[in-house]
Structure 1
Amino acid sequence: MPLIVKDFGWEETDKMVWVTVPLKGVKANKVDILSSDEYLKVSYPPYLFECLLFAAVDDGKGSAQVGNGAVVFKLYKQEPGLWNRLQSPDADDKQIMKQKREEAQEKVKKRLEEEATLKSTTKRANEKLAINEMMKIEDGERERISSIKESERNKATEDLERWKEEQRIIAEKEKEKLLAAQREQVEAEKERDREERRKQRKAKANNIFEKENKSGNAPRESGKIVVTHTPRVFPTPTRESQTPQEEEWLKKQAEAKRSIEMSLDKDLTEEEKNPQWLQDKGNSFFASGDYKSAINAYTHAIHLTPKLPSLYSNRAACHLKLRNFFKVIEDCSKAMDLLFPPVPQNAKSRCKALVRRGTAFCELELYVEGLKDYEAALAVEPKNEALAADAERIRQVIQSTEA
């Protein structure tokens, strides 16, 4: 039978408990310690210390130190407060004590298994990390060697190209010299031919006058011819007209309306067959902040009549609110295609589509493309001060980025 240790000591605060168990001259390497959140055990034959704690402690924070002839437990209470006693009232019940002992042994066993598993996992991870690091080092070395080889090849290629360029320049200069010499020779020959022809014409003219003088005929006097022009009146050109473009625009609108009648579904209600009602419904959703419902309404209207540019432009405004910038660009581009030819009747719609697409480009940090759309919108509405201010801010962003 083991000898139960009763001359232990303990102290407590609101948050901590210290338990001191004397070893009675036994060496530290022969001490078996077991600790859990409710149970303490120190076994050093023939002595045995067991304690069923009054309340639970934090097993993960506590510690046990062996030294100076004693085992000192440093425990942290799970719930602050004074116990006023170390042992639980159930410590005298052998059945409960046995149960707590077995639970403590099971917890310790499980904890040791987890620690072993964690240690094994950590070891494998460290080995894998070491292998990865070695592979990275080897890859880096191969890349460095490959880079050196590539650099040498590039240098040799550059030297060869430089030599070829020098030879080409030398050949060009020699060719230019030969061509210049040939041109000078040709020009000299041409000049000699011109001088020879002048001499021949002069000699021929002198011969003619000499013949006329010998024949007694005097030279003919010069005469004058009076020319009068009939006055002609040209009509003033009229102002350039946009009539063909306007007729084309009205024709496209008429085709869009005819497509509405051709694409109606018999299963739809009268309101659902009306694109204008759907557009108004989408505008109402947009005003209330329900952008997804507005997109659904505009999309349904587009299915009924895919040639109305306002549906694409309005849907682009919804996508802009939802930050679907690529869809904004797609819808605005489709609207601009349908707003051709540009006439005064669709100027306001073209301006809206350009501004929305330009805003989407800027949100995607494609500032050059965004500035192009804003400048195109300014060409449509040159007196719009807000547009001019926005375009100037985009230019400043582009300049700061380039700087």
Structure 2
Amino acid sequence: MPLVVKDYSWEETDVMVWITVPLKGVKSNKVDITSCENYLKVSYPPYLFECLLAAAVDCTKGSAQVGNGAVTFKLYKKEAVLWYSLQHPDAENKEVMKMKREEAQEEIRNRLEEQSKEIAETKRQHEKLAINEMMKLEEEERSRISEIKESERQKATEDLERWKEEQKLLAAKEKERMLEAQKQQVEAEKERDREDRKKQRKARSANIFEKQSKDGAAPPRDNGKIVVKHTPRVFPTPGRESQSEQEEEWLRKQAEAKRSIELSLDADLKEEEKNPQWLQDKGNSFFASGDYKAAINAYTHAIRMTPKLPALYSNRAACHLKLRNFFKCIEDCSKAMDLLFPAVPQNASSRCKALVRRGTAFCELELYVEGE
């Protein structure tokens, strides 16, 4: 049987109640407190304090403090009246106290369930808020990455358009220069023809006057035979279908490229490494085996020796296309096309390869108009 504590003290106002229960030497960590609207219980074996309050109190505002050898309750009344007595008149009835005790336990159990539900609901709300914030941050990050990609794409497009304009200007200037050179060459040939005709007329006039002075009459024309010699053509195309000026320009460029092959750039290189044709064959073998980076190195070394062979640029463009270096592929194809000028039947196959590779690179960059 527990020992019922009777030597407690209490005070009240019209809104508050203070109750002090002595612990009688029991440690505070062994104290069990139960409270509800009209019931208090302090159990610290072998002692027990039970109180059926005279009126209801607000459980949400009150407090219980354990310390200094006592338990002090600070309770707020639901109705602002004086009780004059702490215990309810039915406190001495055991059946009523048993019922109140069970009601207090049920109320405490319900309160704990509500608190757990509130805690769980609060936790769900916090988790939902955290998920929403995370989704918001992820959406902002995706938007930022999309903006960066769009900015880079626009920048790449602008650079490509600028490069195309520069290429157009360079092509127009080169065309103007060649037209001007052709015009000057034609004018020079016409001037030489005029000079030759003038000299021939003067010579014939001098001969006629000389014979007239000797014979007194104009001499008859001399019999003769005109010998026509045809210069052998390098190209098998008939003369009536030829493009003489373009073919001469192509031959001149090829001759310059072949002459540059004889120059060596590094005395430490082996003899075969100084030969651009050997380097080109080496690059072709690397390309056939799938080692595109090694092929690029071989073609680049050959280009440093002979920068005017279009096949080197076209082959290196094929390697860049395999490695998806599309801008470098376009640049090498354009350089090859510049070196394959003028357009003659003898370089048609090489021009076709360069154009196909450049068009493929444009399409891979989603620049379909330029690719077409």
Q: Report the TM range for the smaller structure's normalisation.
A: 0.3 to 0.5
**TM-score if structure 1 supplies the norm length?**
0.40
Point out the structure with max Rg over C-alpha: 2
TM-score normalised by structure 2 residue count: 0.43
